């Protein structure tokens, strides 16, 4: 599934952080109804991608470091899960047993490539800010 639980939780986290404040993890998890063990993992990925910053300890928390107008749904899906293809045969380096056995071009593959391109193009059109309905999204 393209929008899995992790992506949904990441969207919720970004929604909370869109106010520009630093949020303690416990507060963020309670506000967005996210289990803490998932939130830490997701925040780690968001931080590694340069979307958020988090600090532990007293006065710590998580904050947004990038403008949500710059982050698309495609970007978010890619940083959370590298397996964003609609079929395994679209992954780089995939070897198709059927194609090998039949020495033929697979018409399914050709159609799936086009569908994947259309889907990727559509996901790149939607920024996280757009999805929030224009909520504030500029980091402080």
Integer-rounded Cα radius of gyration of the chain? 18
Q: What fold does the segment set 5-84+127-131 form as a domain?
A: Arc Repressor Mutant, subunit A (1.10.10)
What is the residue extent of each domain of the chain?
5-84+127-131
Residue 83 pLDDT = 76
- Residue 68, helix vs strand vs coil: coil
Contact present, 126 and 69 (Cβ < 8 Å): no
Q: What is the pLDDT of residue 1?
A: 55
Give the pLDDT score at 2.
73
Apex 17 CA angle, 22 and 60, nearest 5: 25
From first to last of its 140 residues, what are the pLDDT tens digits of the chain? 578 899 999 999 999 999 999 999 999 999 999 999 999 999 999 999 999 998 887 888 999 999 999 999 999 999 997 678 888 888 888 888 888 888 888 889 889 999 999 999 999 999 999 999 865 545 54
Q: What are phi and psi of 32, to 5 degrees?
A: -105, 5
pTM: 0.83
Given this model, what pLDDT does residue 99 score? 84
């Amino acid at each position: 599934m393209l929008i899995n639980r992790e992506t949904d939780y990441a969207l919720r986290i970004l929604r909370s952080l869109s106010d520009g404040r630093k949020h303690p993890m416990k507060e963020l998890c309670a506000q967005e109804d996210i289990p803490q063990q998932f939130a830490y993992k997701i925040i780690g990925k968001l931080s590694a991608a340069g979307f958020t910053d988090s600090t532990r300890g007293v006065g710590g928390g998580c904050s947004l470091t990038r403008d949500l107008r710059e982050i698309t749904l495609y970007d978010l899906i890619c940083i959370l899960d590298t397996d964003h293809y609609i079929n395994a045969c679209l992954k780089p380096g995939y070897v198709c047993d059927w194609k090998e056995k039949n020495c033929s071009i697979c018409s399914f593959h050709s159609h799936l490539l086009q569908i994947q391109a259309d889907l990727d193009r559509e996901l790149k059109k939607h920024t996280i800010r757009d999805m929030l309905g224009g909520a504030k999204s500029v980091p402080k």
